[in-house]
Amino acid sequence: MFFLLNTAQAQPPGAESVRFESSWARFRTAAADLLGWKVALAAPTLDAAVKADSLGVAYVELPEALDPAIKAKLRALNLRAPSMRAATADRALFERAKNLGVETVILTAAPNDLTAIDFIVNKFGINVAIATDNPRRIDFYSNRVGLALDLTEPKLPTGRIFAIHLRPKAIAPALLRELYDRNLKLILTLDPAYLDAFEQAVHPVMTDRVAAIARTMPIRDPGRLTTAERSAIEAAIPAVAPAKPAKARKLLVLDLNIGWTGHAVIPQGNLMLDLLGKRTGAWETVFSNDLENLKYPRIRQFDAVFLNSTVGQVFVDPEVRAGLLRFVREGGGLGGLHGASYTSMDWPEFSEMIGASEGPHRVEKQTVKVDDAASPLTASFEGKPFAWEDEFYHFYASGPYSRQKLHVLLSLQVPDPDPNTGRRLRPDHDYGLSWIHNYGKGRVFFCALGHTPALYTSPAMVRHILAGVQYILGDLK
């Protein structure tokens, strides 16, 4: 945690930040959680820190000669400084590093007395990465002493590596693959001009990492729910669906979360979807986080795909992306609940398809408005506004949410400025909560509610989700 030097000028963390709030928005930030790589830009000045934030980077490398205002600036931008570069090391340097939350001090020259360095780094709990031509020399010391590399070619030496400055020719898939295969947790510093090159080079590594997680992440089992929780959900399930299925339907449900533990109510959502299909006979529910199911033509065995609060870099594999896009464009269905809008925010086509991406949010009490009382998807609300407590997403005006593209079913009106942030997020004050739309020949339904257990035990809400699923399956017009 960072604290301001001048409390009279205190402001909340991230108040000046313009980048995506989430670490899942780009590979440059997701790499920290998924690969253990903190991608940083050098920030010798306050302006450089501002530029790092504007480029969507969450980490910076600090110089030895610090601007006194840097701590406040880091807090205002919600940036972290995992590394500091210095020519020589002394106690005062490590005290400054500790105060700023620095994890690794990068020494630009090998010190004469490594024994003294070894002692001080263990005392402060800070790593030291040494720029040296003799990697073997540091292997005799503790695990807190390692290498700092300035790579101009995609070749790695042996030895303990803590930090790498990636020059243009070193930003190559083969090198990043080796870092991944060697399971190296480190700080990668790049020049701003090569961030996009890094995004492209790391894509194959991210694809493999996400696939590995998906293969081992089971569906959240409703069996962990208490008897009372199960009974409350069962009581909200209707016996009859609003539309008779034109044929036997199959609904694929994923609850995959990448880089995050996931919403606690995912088991409630899985039980609700399973019981809705079984009790009404409207569909067969297939639960699986195996991303191979989304590749073409395998995905064609399903009538629709439903994302139960999926979050993070889920759709990374180009074949998975192509399969899901083709499936929906050619007439398949896509549904999502709550956190699903925070899925693969680095993939613009998905955000457009689901209808939203990110926005400030908190659990609060609001009044929900029924925008289309005549729709069969809102019949359970009888055209009346209702009080509701949930984690409401306030989608940004700069994002894909737009009534020109979406048929909004439920929404709430937020005063100006937004009470979540104190800022004016949308000039129209329009915050949709549930909608449908066509994407190509396909059908999409998304409901941003569902953070709290109330949705899964409310008969009106459960019937709303039932109607939404029947819409994406093609049975409810």
Domain boundaries, given as residue ranges, for the chain? 7-214, 219-473
CA gap 98, 180 in Å, rounded: 28
pTM (2 d.p.): 0.89
End-to-end C-alpha distance for the chain, whole angstroms: 51
Output phi, psi for 421, to 5 deg. -125, -15
Domain 219-473 has CATH 3.40.50.300: no
Which pLDDT value is given to residue 436? 98
SS3 145: strand
Please give the pLDDT value at position 114: 81
Buried b (16+ CB within 10 A) or exposed e, 34-72: bbebbbbbbbbebebbbebbebbbbbbbbebebeeebbb
Q: What amino acid is encoded at 328 in this protein?
A: V
CATH classification code of 7-214: 3.20.20.150
- Give the C-alpha separation, 77 to 313, whole Å: 23
Instruction: Determine contact, residues 272/287, Cβ cutoff 8 Å.
Output: no
User: Are the beta carbons of 287 and 232 closer than 8 angstroms?
Assistant: no
pLDDT of residue 416: 66
Read out DSSP for 377-432?
GGGGGTT--EEEEEEEE---TTSS--TTT-EEEEEEE--SS-TTTSS---TT-EEE
- What integer pLDDT is reported at residue 9 of this predicted model? 43
Identify the segments of the chain with pLDDT beneath 70: 1-13, 20-22, 133-140, 415-416, 418-424
pLDDT of residue 423: 66
DSSP strand pairing (407-413 vs 361-370)? antiparallel
What are the beta bridge partners of residue 437? 444
Instruction: State the Cα–Cα distance between residues 35 and 339, nearest whole angstrom.
Output: 22
pLDDT of residue 4: 30
DSSP letter, residue 250: E
Give how far the C-alpha of residue 403 lies from the chain's centroid of Cα atoms, to the nearest Å. Answer: 25
Same fold flag, 7-214 and 219-473: no
pLDDT of residue 359: 82
* Residue 173, number of CB atoms within 10 A of its CB: 14
